[in-house]
Amino acid sequence: MADNWRGATWTISPSRLQQNISTICRYLEAINFNLGRTVAWLSLAMALIVFIVVVARYGFDSGSIKGQEAVIYMHAMLFMLCGAYCFQQGMHVRIDVFYAKMSPQRQTLVDILGTLLLLLPSCIFIFYISLDYVGASWSYRESSTEPGGLPYLYLLKTLLLLMPAVIFLQGITDLWRHYFFLKGWISYKERENDLSSSDPTSNIS
């Protein structure tokens, strides 16, 4: 098994339980990493479809409801399914006026509190209040209200459940990583490199 985890290295000989937790977390992070990298390609597809729709409309006086709605679908997938990837890579906006001056241990405590008190409860809340809404849409396979629109509105609304789910899983993996660090089981070569790691899949074996 690889001995590092998103820029961190073991400072102890890990037990079987510690190894298993680390492996599970790396697989979860790999899912979010690959999901984010894959969905990011939708930005290119969106640009191409918008170009085609505009040319068809203003050049040939031929509109496409499906094309316009496809852009909406891809835009929703782009920012709702990339949330966990951005969180993993440290791309979300935060104010570092005090945080940047803290020791790595205090930064880790702030991250833990933020995850426990803000991130995870928000994910649970969004998932819970969206369940009935999404379930109702699935019950009758809701489609577009526009004539000639896409018949997959229920799939689009499912993103309301997928977004908090993948971000929640990323939050859990971060909690374990922070816990291991505070216990002294792992150390970071550079903590910021850990928070914005490149490819977590490279350490999976």
Segment 114-155, tens digit of pLDDT: 999 999 999 999 999 999 999 999 999 998 888 888 899 999
> pLDDT at position 204, please?
43
Instruction: Tell me, yes or no, whether 64 lies in a domain.
Output: yes
> pLDDT tens across 38-88, in order?
999 999 999 999 998 888 888 787 778 888 899 999 999 998 999 899 888
Q: Is residue 3 part of a domain?
A: no
Q: Say if 115 falls within a structural domain.
A: yes
| Domain limits for position 27 | 14-199
Residue 50 phi/psi, 5-degree rounding, is: -60, -45
Res. 198: pLDDT tops 60: no
Least confident span in 32-41, 73-82, 181-190: 181-190
pLDDT value at 159 more than 80: yes
205 assigned to some structural domain = no
Reply yes or no on whether the pLDDT at 193 is more than 70: no
Confidence of residue 20 (pLDDT cuts 50, 70, 90): confident
Distance CA 176, CA 170 (A): 10
Rounded Cα distance, 146 and 72, in Å: 13
pLDDT confidence band for 200 (50 / 70 / 90): low
pLDDT band for position 191 (50/70/90)?
A: very low
Mean pLDDT for all residues in the chain: 82
| Tokens matching residue 82 | 């990339």
Question: Can you give the pLDDT at residue 12?
Answer: 64
Establish if 1 belongs to a structural domain.
Answer: no
Could you tell me if residue 71 is inside a domain?
yes
Residue type present at position 8: A
Scored b (16 or more CB within 10 A) or e, 48-78 reads: ebeeebeeeeeeeeeeeeebbbbbebbebbb
Q: How many domains does the chain have?
A: 1
Residue 204 lies in a domain: no
What percentage of the chain carries pLDDT values higher than 90? 39
169 within 8 A of 28, measured Cβ to Cβ = yes
Q: Return the closest-CA partner of residue 32 out of 75, 91, 73, 96.
A: 91
Distance CA 75, CA 1 (A): 38
Structural domain includes residue 8 = no
